[in-house]
Structure 1
Amino acid sequence: MQAVEHAVIAAAGLGSRLGHGLPKCMLELGGQTLLSRLIGTLEEHVDRIHVVVGYREELIINLCSKLHRRVVIVRNPDYRTTNTVQSMALGAQGLEGKTLFLDGDLIIAPDSMREFIGKAGTTGILAAIAPSLSENPVNVDLDQGETSQGEKLIKSFTREPGRKFEWANVVAGPARMLDNATGYVYEKLEESIPLNAAVLDLREIDTAADLEIAREFVKSIDSSR
């Protein structure tokens, strides 16, 4: 199989549910923006990072020009009428090889990311799942068994509650895997079911309640360093 070479971070959305008037990736937790934390976690593992911007793009562009000069900025001028999957596909244009796609509103434990990227190098497509903690999760139904590498198998995505794991908005696979998708990322991934999955230690921030959970998660990460 092929090692992960690139990462595409989708950071173009409005973040309207949170209501802070900022791209969610620009929220600061523990003295760093979410975006800086993601970039810092990824840059030791991939050769190239693309960040897709739209809403208040100047904030992200200024941050990267000061702190992350190697990052490539990709503009999505249609961010108001497109969603994450289109931003990710746009961000992957020009890339070849295995690519990690992820949302910009995530806090990911560095050790867990390292392990996930290592596993992604052994399979064609690897989706991330996490304990179902978000307020409005897309949950997953898992096969009872595991792959020979110890990965789990997703047999369906569901909005129904009561599942142990949720879709974590992170997936590794071919750079062109999201081309021509029109719905949500997980809807595109349904074409590949049964789908290899691995647990990723992260928190997603969509709502004020998610933000409070993420604050505590950041404290635990930073205190363990």
Structure 2
Amino acid sequence: MSVSKTIIISCAGMGTRLGLNTNKSLIDIDGKPLIIRQLECLDKFDDIRIVVGYQAQEVIDVVCSYRKDITFVFNHDYTNTKTAASLSLGKKHSNEMIISLDGDVLFKPEDLERFILEDDEEAIGVCSPYTNEPVYIDTEFIDGTEHAVSFSRQHGKYEWTGLFKIYAHKLNSGNDHVYKMITPNLPLKVVHVNLKEIDNMNEYKKALDWYKNGYK
């Protein structure tokens, strides 16, 4: 039997580098807010928690227009904390396994669903480096399967996507970057995921083009 899962989406940040004065989860992706595009990929799951902070009420209103069974967790100190603080708040009293993703990422739906449902093994989502400020991952093969063994800001084979699944009892809390929070859980199996992070206007335009071109 599959283990029970809690999905946490971190949407508390101000997204200042995008320059639109809006929470990045609310930006328009071909007629729908990004957070709705994410939730459309997650229709099969019931324990979904969204961590809100900046423009919290706007995010809540948009989400509730699509689903009314989402749990909202407040990071009231979002101006002074990083994503690890939001994740730490969201993971309290979770199910057996935590799946974490950022609210500023546009996913290819099949890839996100495959990552969550493929098996109950802990894993980390990776892609080829493409953003301006990547968190890199170095890997090694363990028993014939490629695993992430370290994070770096300088070099690495892949870029981390912000996506992971880890058993809740193994995941410590933190206040800094999430990759530092999950470093004690390495090595983790790597899974390649098609997605586009949206951190600045150039990445936003590329994500829109990618979506409109059928995720190509």
TM-score (norm. length: structure 1): 0.88
Give the letter aligned to residue 128 of structure 2. P
CA distance in 2, matches of 1:178, 1:122: 15
Alignment correspondent of 2:146: 152
User: Secondary structure at 1:140's aligned position in 2?
Assistant: strand
Alignment correspondent of 1:103: 102
* CA shift for structure 1 position 177: 4.6
Tell me: CA distance 1:70–1:187, structure 2 relative to 1, closer, same or farther (3 Å).
same
CA distance in 2, matches of 1:77, 1:184: 17
Give the letter aligned to residue 132 of structure 1. P
User: Secondary structure at 2:50's aligned position in 1?
Assistant: strand
Aligned residues: 216
CA distance in 2, matches of 1:4, 1:130: 26
Alignment correspondent of 1:59: 58
Is structure 2 residue 135 aligned with structure 1 residue 142?
A: no
User: Secondary structure at 1:135's aligned position in 2?
Assistant: coil
1:78-106 CA distance string (max 9 Å, x none)? 11111111101111222221121110000
* CA shift for structure 1 position 183: 2.1
CA distance in 1, matches of 2:97, 2:61: 28
User: Secondary structure at 2:134's aligned position in 1?
Assistant: coil
The 8 Å contact of residues 105 and 198 in structure 2, kept in 1 or not, is answered as yes
* CA shift for structure 1 position 169: 0.3
Is structure 2 residue 214 aligned with structure 1 residue 221?
A: yes
Give the letter aligned to residue 54 of structure 1. G
RMSD over aligned Cα atoms: 2.0
The 8 Å contact of residues 148 and 187 in structure 2, kept in 1 or not, is answered as yes
The 8 Å contact of residues 135 and 210 in structure 1, kept in 2 or not, is answered as no
1:4-33 CA distance string (max 9 Å, x none)? 522110000010111111110000111111
Alignment correspondent of 1:17: 17
Stretches of 4+ aligned residues off by more than 6 angstroms: none
Give the letter aligned to residue 15 of structure 1. G
CA distance in 2, matches of 1:68, 1:130: 30
CA distance in 2, matches of 1:91, 1:186: 16
TM-score (norm. length: structure 2): 0.92
Give the letter aligned to residue 51 of structure 1. I
CA distance in 1, matches of 2:37, 2:77: 26
The 8 Å contact of residues 85 and 178 in structure 1, kept in 2 or not, is answered as no
* CA shift for structure 1 position 187: 1.1
Which ranges in structure 1 are unaligned for 5 or more consecutive residues? none
Alignment correspondent of 1:205: 198
Tell me: CA distance 1:57–1:177, structure 2 relative to 1, closer, same or farther (3 Å).
farther
Which ranges in structure 2 are unaligned for 5 or more consecutive residues? none
CA distance in 1, matches of 2:120, 2:7: 17
Alignment correspondent of 2:35: 35
